[in-house]
Amino acid sequence: MSVTVLEEALEAMEQLTVAARAAGIEPNQSRTFRLFTTNEVCSFLGKSTTTIYKCEQMGIIDKPAVNTVTGRRIGYTLGDVNKLRAHFSIKPNKWPSSRERDERLSIVAALYNFKGGVGKTTTTITYGQYLALLGYKVLLIDMDSQGSLTSLFGKLPDEVDESETVIPYTVKLQHQTLHYAIKNSHIDGLDYICANNDLSYAEWEGAATISGEGESGLTYFQRLRNGIDTIKEEYDFILIDAPPSLGIIGLQTAVAADNLIIPCVPRMLDFASTKQFLSSAVEYVYDFFPEKEFKTIKVLATMIDRRPSGNSGFLPIMDSVLGDLKFANEILSSQSIDNSSAVFQTPWEADKPDKRIIQNMRSTFNEITEHLIEGNV
Protein backbone atom coordinates (compact mmCIF):
# COMPACT_ATOMS: atom_id res chain seq x y z
CA MET A 1 0.00 0.00 0.00
CA SER A 2 1.44 3.36 -1.02
CA VAL A 3 1.83 6.35 1.26
CA THR A 4 -0.54 8.24 -1.03
CA VAL A 5 -3.35 5.76 -0.38
CA LEU A 6 -2.71 5.96 3.37
CA GLU A 7 -2.82 9.74 3.23
CA GLU A 8 -6.10 9.62 1.31
CA ALA A 9 -7.58 7.33 3.93
CA LEU A 10 -6.37 9.66 6.70
CA GLU A 11 -7.89 12.69 4.98
CA ALA A 12 -11.20 10.85 4.57
CA MET A 13 -11.28 9.98 8.27
CA GLU A 14 -10.49 13.57 9.21
CA GLN A 15 -13.43 14.71 7.06
CA LEU A 16 -15.65 12.09 8.71
CA THR A 17 -14.65 13.39 12.14
CA VAL A 18 -15.47 16.95 11.11
CA ALA A 19 -18.85 15.86 9.73
CA ALA A 20 -19.67 13.94 12.91
CA ARG A 21 -18.81 16.96 15.04
CA ALA A 22 -20.95 19.18 12.81
CA ALA A 23 -23.82 16.77 13.46
CA GLY A 24 -23.29 17.14 17.21
CA ILE A 25 -21.77 13.69 17.66
CA GLU A 26 -18.77 14.53 19.83
CA PRO A 27 -17.83 14.45 23.49
CA ASN A 28 -18.84 17.42 25.60
CA GLN A 29 -16.06 18.68 27.85
CA SER A 30 -18.35 21.08 29.71
CA ARG A 31 -21.16 18.67 30.56
CA THR A 32 -22.43 18.20 34.09
CA PHE A 33 -23.54 15.11 35.96
CA ARG A 34 -27.20 14.48 36.71
CA LEU A 35 -28.91 16.00 39.75
CA PHE A 36 -30.54 14.03 42.56
CA THR A 37 -33.97 14.41 44.08
CA THR A 38 -34.49 14.93 47.81
CA ASN A 39 -35.68 11.34 48.13
CA GLU A 40 -32.54 10.07 46.42
CA VAL A 41 -30.33 12.12 48.73
CA CYS A 42 -32.23 10.77 51.75
CA SER A 43 -31.66 7.25 50.43
CA PHE A 44 -27.92 7.90 49.95
CA LEU A 45 -27.50 9.23 53.47
CA GLY A 46 -30.15 7.41 55.48
CA LYS A 47 -31.53 10.79 56.60
CA SER A 48 -35.00 12.37 56.57
CA THR A 49 -36.12 15.22 54.32
CA THR A 50 -36.42 17.37 57.46
CA THR A 51 -32.74 16.78 58.21
CA ILE A 52 -31.75 17.72 54.64
CA TYR A 53 -33.78 20.95 54.81
CA LYS A 54 -32.17 21.82 58.16
CA CYS A 55 -28.74 21.42 56.54
CA GLU A 56 -29.80 23.95 53.90
CA GLN A 57 -30.82 26.41 56.62
CA MET A 58 -27.49 25.86 58.38
CA GLY A 59 -25.61 26.65 55.17
CA ILE A 60 -24.01 23.22 54.88
CA ILE A 61 -25.37 22.98 51.34
CA ASP A 62 -27.13 25.50 49.15
CA LYS A 63 -30.85 25.34 48.63
CA PRO A 64 -31.53 23.95 45.13
CA ALA A 65 -32.88 26.26 42.48
CA VAL A 66 -36.55 25.97 41.56
CA ASN A 67 -37.89 25.18 38.10
CA THR A 68 -39.84 28.30 37.10
CA VAL A 69 -42.34 26.25 35.10
CA THR A 70 -43.11 23.37 37.49
CA GLY A 71 -42.24 25.12 40.75
CA ARG A 72 -40.28 22.05 41.82
CA ARG A 73 -36.72 21.92 43.08
CA ILE A 74 -34.24 21.14 40.31
CA GLY A 75 -32.17 18.86 42.52
CA TYR A 76 -28.91 18.39 44.42
CA THR A 77 -25.46 17.81 42.94
CA LEU A 78 -23.20 14.92 43.91
CA GLY A 79 -20.99 17.59 45.46
CA ASP A 80 -23.90 18.51 47.75
CA VAL A 81 -24.32 14.86 48.69
CA ASN A 82 -20.62 14.57 49.52
CA LYS A 83 -20.75 17.72 51.68
CA LEU A 84 -23.55 16.11 53.66
CA ARG A 85 -21.58 12.85 53.90
CA ALA A 86 -18.66 14.79 55.34
CA HIS A 87 -20.93 16.70 57.75
CA PHE A 88 -22.49 13.51 59.12
CA SER A 89 -19.23 11.49 58.88
CA ILE A 90 -20.99 8.92 56.68
CA LYS A 91 -18.66 6.26 55.29
CA PRO A 92 -19.16 4.84 51.79
CA ASN A 93 -20.89 1.51 51.35
CA LYS A 94 -18.54 -1.46 52.04
CA TRP A 95 -16.07 0.81 53.90
CA PRO A 96 -13.81 -1.41 56.07
CA SER A 97 -14.47 -1.12 59.78
CA SER A 98 -10.73 -1.10 60.45
CA ARG A 99 -10.23 2.22 58.64
CA GLU A 100 -11.06 5.75 59.73
CA ARG A 101 -12.99 7.80 57.18
CA ASP A 102 -10.13 10.24 56.62
CA GLU A 103 -7.77 7.38 55.66
CA ARG A 104 -7.64 6.55 51.96
CA LEU A 105 -7.78 2.90 50.91
CA SER A 106 -5.21 3.32 48.09
CA ILE A 107 -6.38 0.23 46.17
CA VAL A 108 -4.80 -0.07 42.70
CA ALA A 109 -6.48 -2.35 40.14
CA ALA A 110 -6.10 -2.80 36.39
CA LEU A 111 -8.80 -4.02 34.04
CA TYR A 112 -6.81 -6.07 31.59
CA ASN A 113 -7.16 -8.51 28.68
CA PHE A 114 -5.64 -9.05 25.25
CA LYS A 115 -9.04 -9.30 23.60
CA GLY A 116 -10.73 -6.13 22.42
CA GLY A 117 -14.50 -5.73 22.55
CA VAL A 118 -14.89 -7.31 25.99
CA GLY A 119 -16.21 -4.20 27.75
CA LYS A 120 -12.89 -3.33 29.42
CA THR A 121 -13.17 0.45 29.06
CA THR A 122 -16.91 0.57 29.66
CA THR A 123 -16.49 -1.45 32.85
CA THR A 124 -13.62 0.76 34.01
CA ILE A 125 -15.57 4.00 33.71
CA THR A 126 -18.93 2.71 34.92
CA TYR A 127 -17.30 1.08 37.95
CA GLY A 128 -15.31 4.24 38.66
CA GLN A 129 -18.44 6.37 38.45
CA TYR A 130 -20.29 4.00 40.76
CA LEU A 131 -17.53 4.20 43.36
CA ALA A 132 -17.70 8.00 43.19
CA LEU A 133 -21.49 7.86 43.66
CA LEU A 134 -20.89 5.85 46.84
CA GLY A 135 -18.56 8.56 48.16
CA TYR A 136 -15.17 7.04 47.37
CA LYS A 137 -12.34 9.16 45.96
CA VAL A 138 -11.41 7.62 42.60
CA LEU A 139 -8.76 8.07 39.90
CA LEU A 140 -9.00 6.44 36.47
CA ILE A 141 -5.81 6.16 34.42
CA ASP A 142 -6.14 5.62 30.67
CA MET A 143 -3.19 3.52 29.46
CA ASP A 144 -4.77 2.49 26.16
CA SER A 145 -3.44 4.52 23.21
CA GLN A 146 -6.91 4.40 21.60
CA GLY A 147 -8.02 6.82 24.33
CA SER A 148 -11.59 5.50 24.56
CA LEU A 149 -11.75 6.16 28.29
CA THR A 150 -10.48 9.69 27.70
CA SER A 151 -13.21 10.26 25.09
CA LEU A 152 -15.88 9.32 27.62
CA PHE A 153 -14.62 12.20 29.77
CA GLY A 154 -15.11 14.67 26.92
CA LYS A 155 -11.79 14.73 25.03
CA LEU A 156 -11.08 12.92 21.79
CA PRO A 157 -7.54 11.47 21.67
CA ASP A 158 -6.46 13.88 18.89
CA GLU A 159 -7.33 16.77 21.23
CA VAL A 160 -5.05 15.43 23.96
CA ASP A 161 -1.47 16.68 24.18
CA GLU A 162 1.32 14.34 25.21
CA SER A 163 1.85 16.56 28.27
CA GLU A 164 -1.56 15.44 29.58
CA THR A 165 -0.60 11.75 29.57
CA VAL A 166 1.71 9.68 31.76
CA ILE A 167 4.52 9.94 29.20
CA PRO A 168 6.29 13.00 30.69
CA TYR A 169 6.67 10.96 33.90
CA THR A 170 7.11 7.38 32.70
CA VAL A 171 9.23 8.02 29.58
CA LYS A 172 10.74 11.50 29.69
CA LEU A 173 11.29 11.81 33.45
CA GLN A 174 10.14 15.45 33.45
CA HIS A 175 8.14 15.35 36.70
CA GLN A 176 8.58 14.16 40.26
CA THR A 177 4.94 13.04 40.66
CA LEU A 178 1.90 12.29 38.50
CA HIS A 179 -0.05 15.27 39.87
CA TYR A 180 0.57 17.30 36.69
CA ALA A 181 -1.57 14.89 34.62
CA ILE A 182 -4.59 14.55 36.92
CA LYS A 183 -7.81 16.17 35.71
CA ASN A 184 -11.05 16.67 37.60
CA SER A 185 -14.05 15.15 35.86
CA HIS A 186 -17.66 16.37 35.78
CA ILE A 187 -18.39 13.93 38.61
CA ASP A 188 -17.42 14.99 42.13
CA GLY A 189 -14.76 12.68 43.57
CA LEU A 190 -13.75 11.19 40.21
CA ASP A 191 -10.48 12.23 38.55
CA TYR A 192 -8.73 10.88 35.47
CA ILE A 193 -5.51 10.87 33.44
CA CYS A 194 -5.72 11.07 29.64
CA ALA A 195 -4.26 8.89 26.91
CA ASN A 196 -3.66 9.34 23.20
CA ASN A 197 -1.69 7.74 20.37
CA ASP A 198 1.58 9.01 21.83
CA LEU A 199 1.44 5.97 24.11
CA SER A 200 2.09 3.85 21.00
CA TYR A 201 5.25 5.84 20.30
CA ALA A 202 6.20 5.41 23.94
CA GLU A 203 6.53 1.68 23.23
CA TRP A 204 9.35 2.44 20.79
CA GLU A 205 10.94 5.04 23.04
CA GLY A 206 10.85 2.58 25.90
CA ALA A 207 12.54 -0.12 23.87
CA ALA A 208 15.22 2.33 22.79
CA THR A 209 15.76 3.47 26.36
CA ILE A 210 16.19 -0.06 27.66
CA SER A 211 18.49 -1.26 24.84
CA GLY A 212 20.30 1.97 23.93
CA GLU A 213 20.99 3.42 27.33
CA GLY A 214 21.38 0.18 29.15
CA GLU A 215 18.59 0.77 31.68
CA SER A 216 17.34 -2.50 33.06
CA GLY A 217 13.74 -3.52 32.48
CA LEU A 218 13.44 -3.83 36.23
CA THR A 219 13.64 -0.07 36.77
CA TYR A 220 11.96 1.01 33.52
CA PHE A 221 8.89 -1.14 34.03
CA GLN A 222 8.51 0.22 37.56
CA ARG A 223 8.09 3.81 36.43
CA LEU A 224 4.28 3.82 36.32
CA ARG A 225 4.20 2.07 39.67
CA ASN A 226 6.53 4.70 41.10
CA GLY A 227 4.31 7.46 39.73
CA ILE A 228 1.19 5.94 41.24
CA ASP A 229 3.00 5.66 44.57
CA THR A 230 3.35 9.47 44.57
CA ILE A 231 -0.43 9.99 44.45
CA LYS A 232 -2.19 6.88 45.73
CA GLU A 233 -2.53 8.14 49.31
CA GLU A 234 -5.02 10.69 47.93
CA TYR A 235 -7.40 8.07 46.53
CA ASP A 236 -9.46 5.13 47.69
CA PHE A 237 -9.41 3.43 44.30
CA ILE A 238 -7.10 3.84 41.31
CA LEU A 239 -8.41 1.94 38.29
CA ILE A 240 -6.20 1.50 35.22
CA ASP A 241 -7.71 0.94 31.78
CA ALA A 242 -4.92 -1.26 30.42
CA PRO A 243 -3.85 -1.56 26.77
CA PRO A 244 -4.97 -4.74 24.93
CA SER A 245 -1.39 -6.04 24.79
CA LEU A 246 1.52 -6.96 27.04
CA GLY A 247 4.16 -4.75 25.44
CA ILE A 248 6.22 -2.20 27.33
CA ILE A 249 3.22 -0.04 28.33
CA GLY A 250 1.28 -3.19 29.19
CA LEU A 251 4.07 -4.49 31.40
CA GLN A 252 4.31 -1.13 33.16
CA THR A 253 0.58 -1.40 33.82
CA ALA A 254 0.79 -4.97 35.12
CA VAL A 255 3.67 -4.07 37.44
CA ALA A 256 1.79 -1.00 38.70
CA ALA A 257 -1.37 -2.92 39.62
CA ASP A 258 -1.89 -4.83 42.85
CA ASN A 259 -5.10 -6.36 41.52
CA LEU A 260 -6.22 -7.62 38.11
CA ILE A 261 -9.82 -7.70 36.91
CA ILE A 262 -10.02 -9.66 33.66
CA PRO A 263 -13.16 -8.93 31.61
CA CYS A 264 -14.10 -11.93 29.48
CA VAL A 265 -17.07 -12.57 27.21
CA PRO A 266 -18.28 -16.20 27.44
CA ARG A 267 -17.09 -17.28 23.98
CA MET A 268 -14.43 -19.79 22.98
CA LEU A 269 -12.40 -17.12 21.17
CA ASP A 270 -12.36 -15.00 24.31
CA PHE A 271 -11.38 -17.96 26.50
CA ALA A 272 -8.40 -18.60 24.22
CA SER A 273 -7.38 -14.94 24.26
CA THR A 274 -7.65 -14.74 28.04
CA LYS A 275 -5.53 -17.87 28.36
CA GLN A 276 -2.90 -16.24 26.11
CA PHE A 277 -2.96 -13.09 28.24
CA LEU A 278 -2.42 -15.00 31.49
CA SER A 279 0.29 -17.16 29.89
CA SER A 280 2.15 -14.06 28.69
CA ALA A 281 1.69 -12.34 32.05
CA VAL A 282 3.18 -15.32 33.88
CA GLU A 283 6.10 -15.46 31.44
CA TYR A 284 6.99 -11.77 31.16
CA VAL A 285 5.95 -10.26 34.49
CA TYR A 286 7.69 -12.90 36.54
CA ASP A 287 10.76 -12.88 34.28
CA PHE A 288 11.39 -9.29 35.30
CA PHE A 289 9.77 -9.39 38.74
CA PRO A 290 9.97 -12.89 40.25
CA GLU A 291 8.86 -11.45 43.59
CA LYS A 292 5.76 -9.75 42.11
CA GLU A 293 2.59 -10.68 43.96
CA PHE A 294 -0.90 -9.68 42.89
CA LYS A 295 -3.21 -9.33 45.85
CA THR A 296 -6.23 -10.44 43.85
CA ILE A 297 -6.97 -11.71 40.33
CA LYS A 298 -10.49 -12.49 39.14
CA VAL A 299 -12.34 -12.93 35.86
CA LEU A 300 -15.42 -10.81 35.24
CA ALA A 301 -17.88 -12.21 32.71
CA THR A 302 -19.12 -9.36 30.53
CA MET A 303 -21.58 -8.64 27.73
CA ILE A 304 -23.87 -11.49 28.80
CA ASP A 305 -26.70 -12.14 26.37
CA ARG A 306 -29.40 -14.21 28.07
CA ARG A 307 -31.52 -14.72 24.97
CA PRO A 308 -31.86 -18.38 23.79
CA SER A 309 -29.43 -17.62 20.97
CA GLY A 310 -27.06 -15.69 23.25
CA ASN A 311 -23.82 -16.58 25.00
CA SER A 312 -25.07 -17.26 28.53
CA GLY A 313 -24.95 -21.04 27.93
CA PHE A 314 -21.18 -20.86 28.50
CA LEU A 315 -21.60 -19.39 31.98
CA PRO A 316 -22.10 -22.75 33.77
CA ILE A 317 -18.83 -23.93 32.20
CA MET A 318 -17.03 -20.79 33.38
CA ASP A 319 -18.51 -21.19 36.86
CA SER A 320 -17.59 -24.87 37.20
CA VAL A 321 -14.04 -24.49 35.88
CA LEU A 322 -13.05 -21.10 37.30
CA GLY A 323 -14.88 -21.34 40.62
CA ASP A 324 -13.69 -18.59 42.97
CA LEU A 325 -11.48 -17.16 40.22
CA LYS A 326 -14.65 -15.70 38.66
CA PHE A 327 -17.00 -13.09 40.10
CA ALA A 328 -20.44 -14.52 40.81
CA ASN A 329 -22.16 -11.55 39.18
CA GLU A 330 -21.81 -10.71 35.50
CA ILE A 331 -22.22 -7.59 33.36
CA LEU A 332 -25.22 -7.92 31.06
CA SER A 333 -25.19 -6.91 27.41
CA SER A 334 -27.55 -4.03 26.81
CA GLN A 335 -28.61 -1.72 24.03
CA SER A 336 -28.79 1.08 26.60
CA ILE A 337 -25.04 0.71 27.28
CA ASP A 338 -24.32 0.88 23.55
CA ASN A 339 -26.62 3.86 23.11
CA SER A 340 -24.97 5.72 25.99
CA SER A 341 -21.48 5.07 24.61
CA ALA A 342 -22.53 6.37 21.21
CA VAL A 343 -23.11 9.80 22.75
CA PHE A 344 -20.06 9.58 25.06
CA GLN A 345 -22.05 8.78 28.18
CA THR A 346 -22.66 5.86 30.50
CA PRO A 347 -25.92 4.42 31.91
CA TRP A 348 -25.32 6.43 35.11
CA GLU A 349 -25.57 9.63 33.03
CA ALA A 350 -28.59 8.70 30.89
CA ASP A 351 -31.70 10.88 31.19
CA LYS A 352 -33.82 7.73 31.46
CA PRO A 353 -31.53 4.98 32.74
CA ASP A 354 -32.34 1.33 32.13
CA LYS A 355 -33.34 0.15 35.62
CA ARG A 356 -32.44 -3.47 34.84
CA ILE A 357 -28.90 -2.52 33.81
CA ILE A 358 -28.47 -0.11 36.73
CA GLN A 359 -29.43 -2.86 39.17
CA ASN A 360 -27.14 -5.33 37.40
CA MET A 361 -24.19 -2.94 37.63
CA ARG A 362 -24.90 -2.19 41.29
CA SER A 363 -24.89 -5.87 42.22
CA THR A 364 -21.75 -6.61 40.22
CA PHE A 365 -19.82 -3.56 41.37
CA ASN A 366 -20.75 -4.15 45.00
CA GLU A 367 -19.25 -7.63 44.72
CA ILE A 368 -16.08 -6.28 43.09
CA THR A 369 -15.73 -3.57 45.74
CA GLU A 370 -16.12 -6.04 48.59
CA HIS A 371 -13.61 -8.37 46.92
CA LEU A 372 -11.01 -5.62 46.45
CA ILE A 373 -11.39 -4.28 49.97
CA GLU A 374 -11.11 -7.76 51.51
CA GLY A 375 -8.01 -8.47 49.45
CA ASN A 376 -6.23 -5.18 50.14
CA VAL A 377 -7.22 -3.72 53.49
- CA neighbours closer than 13 Å in the CB half-sphere of residue 93: 17
Q: Mean pLDDT for the chain? A: 88
Residue among 338, 348, 225 at smallest CA distance from 289: 225
- Fold for 97-376, please state it: Rossmann fold (3.40.50)
Taking residue 326's Cβ as centre, other Cβ atoms within 10 Å add up to 19
* Domains of the chain, residue spans: 38-88, 97-376
Q: List, in order, residues 6 or more apart from 268 with CB less than 8 Å away.
A: none
Question: Which H or E run includes 211?
Answer: helix 198-212
Question: Contacts for 100-104 with beta carbons within 8 Å, 24 or more apart?
Answer: 104/137, 104/232, 104/233, 104/234, 104/235, 104/236
Q: What is the pLDDT of residues 81-114, one digit of tens each?
A: 999 999 999 999 889 988 887 889 999 999 998 7
Question: 38-88: what CATH class?
Answer: mainly alpha
Alpha helix ranges (H) inside 30-119: 38-45, 49-57, 78-88
Least confident of 129-143, 169-183, 243-257: 243-257
Query: Is residue 16 scored above 80 in pLDDT?
Result: no
Between CA 49 and CA 135 the distance in angstroms is 20
Over residues 293-302, the mean pLDDT reads 94
Backbone angles phi, psi at 298, to 5 degrees: -145, 150
Over residues 40-58, the mean pLDDT reads 94
Q: pLDDT category, 277, cuts 50, 70, 90? A: confident
Between CA 241 and CA 122 the distance in angstroms is 9
Q: Considering the entire predicted model, what is its pTM?
A: 0.90
Q: pLDDT category, 1, cuts 50, 70, 90? A: very low
Residue among 348, 124, 369, 156 at smallest CA distance from 241: 124
